[in-house]
Chain A
Amino acid sequence: MDGFQGVQGLHPQIHQTTCTPVNKDLRIAVVEADRSLALQIVDVLKDDGWNNISVLGDTSGLARKLSDLAPDLVLIDLENPSRDLLEQVSIASEAETRPVAMFVDRSDDAMTLAAMEAGLSAYVVGAPEPDRVREVLKTAIARFQVTSQMRRELAFAKQALADRKMIDRAKGMVMQAKGVSEDEAYQLLRKQAMSQNTKVIDVARALLTAADLLT
């Protein structure tokens, strides 16, 4: 299966919404390396009644996998560098089966804007009914909004944690070299940062880099 998993049947007892006349048999491919994020997207689409969804995690050989899968709609994060691989599929395929970037006709600017701001790009293959595509996108956009917010928070938290570790190491070095307390060491770093009009983390980084060179 090398990186490609069909996920039909994970949630067998999905409550089909009966109020909508839209036929929910679109084949949807989600290109996403992070498996838990991919499954979250799959889950909300399934909750909405879309059952024919596949996840492509590993993008090696993406063109071949997509051609085997023959999806009607491909969803991919705007931030995913592998998006250019989908452009490749466009030139390699026959005209009728080419994935075409959504919103090419600019017929629905509000939805385009919403998708972009949520960080979602979508490709349609062939000519599925616009109503069905629009419905999938509405659901996916809502999910992507939450996801991209989570990603931003996660990246921010990771950076903050890495910065704190580095400042702690620098503090330790100052404490040892000058025989001062932890608090005094931090004040020294802070004073240096202020006099150089820079951040404490930058002073800490410079100190550690210099120390690495000298040891």
Chain B
Amino acid sequence: MSSQVLNCGYVPLVDSAPLILAAELGFAAQEGLSLNLLRQPSWAALRDLLALGHLDAAHMLSPLPVAMSLGLSGPKVSIVTPIVMSANGTVLGLSKSLANDLRQTGWQPDPERPLDLVAGLQALARPLRVGVPFPYSMHRLLFEYLIENAGPGLAERAQIVTMPPPLMAHAVLNGEIDLFFVGEPWGSVAVRNGAAELVLPGSGIWAHAPEKVLAMRADWAEGNALTAGALTRAIYRACSWLGQPANRSLAVEILARSEHLGLPHEAIDPALTGRISPRIDAPPWQISAFARFHGGATTFPWRSFGAWLGHQMSRLENLDRASTLKIATQCFRPDLYRAYLSTTSADMPGASAKMEGTMAHPTPVASMRGEMILGPDAFFDGKTFDFPEIF
């Protein structure tokens, strides 16, 4: 049987693992697909190649399909997400000098206490340059969310700077940025270079933030439903495989051996094991759902994710809320997920949207097969985000 070749773009980060493993472990081949994995030097390049049809599908920052569909980033094209590839897996770090200044205010690092960090940054009353990988990234949105209710001044004093992740450690060492929000391995690299310390995993701001998605053009998904379904199933199987704790060390080996990431073993390991060292001399954090690929319906593209992203973007960019939410919500496609995975053993939640931020602990909910465990998905401030019933 000859297989169909698909051009798939990715940026060499640890959380591109589902795409790489779908190719390397034969999940794509089982579906009659041959994945031509095309490594991209920047999110802008990946975005443009997908928009213009040079890529069929891509590993993408979860807010980017929304930004592209709204015409905020690159050519305006409707992009859909039939499956989420990962949740969390990001870290917030400080330059040594900012960390020292914060300690002068009495702040003590504690990844469980984000409010202390915000209070410390507020008390310092100095301009802060914050490096994020891309304007339309969960990193930027989570940081803006962290400080938006901090009280007067902090949001105005924080300047968001885009910095490609491989340059982040260098930029913080040079004093170009004071804080950074980045995916692994680049947080650990900054720690090892002695440039920075890590203070908070992204999950400390939102316990279950969709981080990367599988993105495709809406018209492509419509015109190639069988292929899109086959690719979604291959990604789902790779995510399930990655979610088995017994497979983690093997995953590290495969990813380090494969030419796709170009990262050594020790750079991949922390992200997959959740053992992240916040400082050179400190014992590692043990974060249970650091980069999460499976379980808790991680792969399910909740419409409420689209709504939350649209809500945050409409505030940041001063866009009309109702029309922004409408477009944003259409980017996340639980209908496609249900249709494409109907032939697999994947369990499906009963609902397609949920109130975000309600679960402080893993919580059983009704599913197609009876019951599934969701969450935790709490926000650091204890607030909830209700899926707007305007659609």
Q: B153-176, CB under 8 A of A: which get 1 and which 0? A: 000000111111011000100101
Report A147 CB to chain B, min CB distance, Å: 15
Contact A83-B44, Cβ < 8 Å, known A60-B176, A116-B49: yes
Residue of A83, A84, A103, A113 with most partner-chain B CB within 10 A: A84
Q: Is the CB of A101 within 8 A of B44?
A: yes
Q: Is the CB of B133 within 8 A of A84?
A: yes
Contact A84-B176, Cβ < 8 Å, known A91-B135, A116-B49: no
Report A103 CB to chain B, min CB distance, Å: 7
Task: Output the nearest chain A residue to B49 by Cβ-Cβ distance.
Answer: A116
Question: At the interface with chain A, which of B73-81, B89-97, B225-233?
Answer: B73-81
Q: A84-100, CB under 8 A of B: which get 1 and which 0? A: 11111011100000000
Q: Is the CB of A104 within 8 A of B161?
A: no
Complex CA–CA separation, A116 to B75 (angstroms): 14
Complex CA–CA separation, A103 to B52 (angstroms): 10
Question: At the interface with chain B, which of A5-13, A39-47, A74-82?
Answer: A74-82
Which residue of A60, A78, A88, A106 contacts B162 across the interface (Cβ within 8 Å)? A88
Q: Is the CB of A116 within 8 A of B48?
A: yes
Complex CA–CA separation, A103 to B49 (angstroms): 12
Q: Is the CB of B164 within 8 A of A82?
A: yes
Q: Is the CB of A81 within 8 A of B167?
A: yes
Q: Is the CB of A85 within 8 A of B163?
A: yes
Specify which chain B residues have a CB less than 8 angstroms from the CB of A101 in the assembled complex: 44, 48, 74-75
Complex CA–CA separation, A85 to B45 (angstroms): 12
Complex CA–CA separation, A87 to B135 (angstroms): 7
Specify which chain A residues have a CB less than 8 angstroms from the CB of B354 in the assembled complex: none
Q: Is the CB of B41 within 8 A of A81?
A: yes
- Please tell me if A192 contacts chain B, counting CB pairs below 8 Å: no
- Please tell me if B305 contacts chain A, counting CB pairs below 8 Å: no
- Please tell me if A173 contacts chain B, counting CB pairs below 8 Å: no
Report B312 CB to chain A, min CB distance, Å: 14
Which B residues, 43 to 102, have Cβ-Cβ distances below 8 Å to chain A? Answer: 43-45, 48-49, 52, 54, 73-76
Specify which chain B residues have a CB less than 8 angstroms from the CB of A86 in the assembled complex: 44
Specify which chain A residues have a CB less than 8 angstroms from the CB of B160 in the assembled complex: 88, 91-92
Complex CA–CA separation, A160 to B76 (angstroms): 42
- Please tell me if B36 contacts chain A, counting CB pairs below 8 Å: no
- Please tell me if A121 contacts chain B, counting CB pairs below 8 Å: yes
Specify which chain A residues have a CB less than 8 angstroms from the CB of B54 in the assembled complex: 116
Which B residues, 105 to 139, have Cβ-Cβ distances below 8 Å to chain A? Answer: 133-135
Specify which chain B residues have a CB less than 8 angstroms from the CB of A85 in the assembled complex: 162-164
Report B76 CB to chain A, min CB distance, Å: 7
Specify which chain A residues have a CB less than 8 angstroms from the CB of B161 in the assembled complex: 63, 88
Specify which chain B residues have a CB less than 8 angstroms from the CB of A112 in the assembled complex: 52
Specify which chain B residues have a CB less than 8 angstroms from the CB of A21 in the assembled complex: none
Complex CA–CA separation, A92 to B317 (angstroms): 11
Q: Is the CB of A121 within 8 A of B176?
A: no
Specify which chain A residues have a CB less than 8 angstroms from the CB of B167 in the assembled complex: 81-82
Complex CA–CA separation, A61 to B161 (angstroms): 10
Complex CA–CA separation, A113 to B48 (angstroms): 11
Report B67 CB to chain A, min CB distance, Å: 10
Q: Is the CB of B75 within 8 A of A78?
A: no
- Please tell me if B149 contacts chain A, counting CB pairs below 8 Å: no
- Please tell me if B42 contacts chain A, counting CB pairs below 8 Å: yes
Contact A80-B52, Cβ < 8 Å, known A101-B74, A106-B75: no
Complex CA–CA separation, A53 to B360 (angstroms): 56
Residue of B45, B75, B133, B163 with most partner-chain A CB within 10 A: B45
Contact A81-B48, Cβ < 8 Å, known A60-B176, A104-B74, A104-B75: no
Which residue of B45, B75, B135, B159 contacts A103 across the interface (Cβ within 8 Å)? B75
Q: Is the CB of B75 within 8 A of A79?
A: no
Specify which chain B residues have a CB less than 8 angstroms from the CB of A81 in the assembled complex: 41-42, 164, 166-167
Report A201 CB to chain B, min CB distance, Å: 13
Q: Is the CB of A60 within 8 A of B171?
A: yes
Which residue of B48, B76, B133, B164 contacts A121 across the interface (Cβ within 8 Å)? B48
Report A206 CB to chain B, min CB distance, Å: 12
Report B59 CB to chain A, min CB distance, Å: 15
Residue of B44, B73, B174, B176 with most partner-chain A CB within 10 A: B44
Specify which chain B residues have a CB less than 8 angstroms from the CB of A79 in the assembled complex: 41, 45
Q: Is the CB of A84 within 8 A of B75?
A: no
Q: Is the CB of B42 within 8 A of A80?
A: yes
Complex CA–CA separation, A79 to B45 (angstroms): 8
Q: Is the CB of A78 within 8 A of B45?
A: yes
Complex CA–CA separation, A103 to B45 (angstroms): 13
Specify which chain B residues have a CB less than 8 angstroms from the CB of A106 in the assembled complex: 52, 75
Contact A84-B174, Cβ < 8 Å, known A90-B135, A103-B75: no
Which residue of A60, A83, A92 contacts B41 across the interface (Cβ within 8 Å)? A83
Q: Is the CB of B162 within 8 A of A87?
A: yes
Contact A104-B76, Cβ < 8 Å, known A86-B44, A87-B44: yes
**A contact set with B: CB distance below 8 Å:** 60-61, 63, 78-88, 90-92, 101, 103-106, 112-113, 116, 121
Can you name 28 A-B pairs with beta carbons within 8 Å?
A60-B176, A61-B176, A79-B41, A81-B41, A81-B42, A81-B166, A81-B167, A83-B41, A83-B44, A84-B42, A84-B43, A84-B133, A84-B162, A84-B163, A84-B164, A87-B43, A87-B135, A87-B162, A88-B135, A101-B74, A104-B75, A104-B76, A105-B75, A106-B75, A112-B52, A113-B52, A116-B49, A121-B45
Apart from A103-B75, A104-B76, what are 8 other A-B pairs with CB-CB below 8 Å? A63-B161, A80-B41, A82-B42, A82-B167, A84-B133, A87-B43, A92-B159, A112-B52
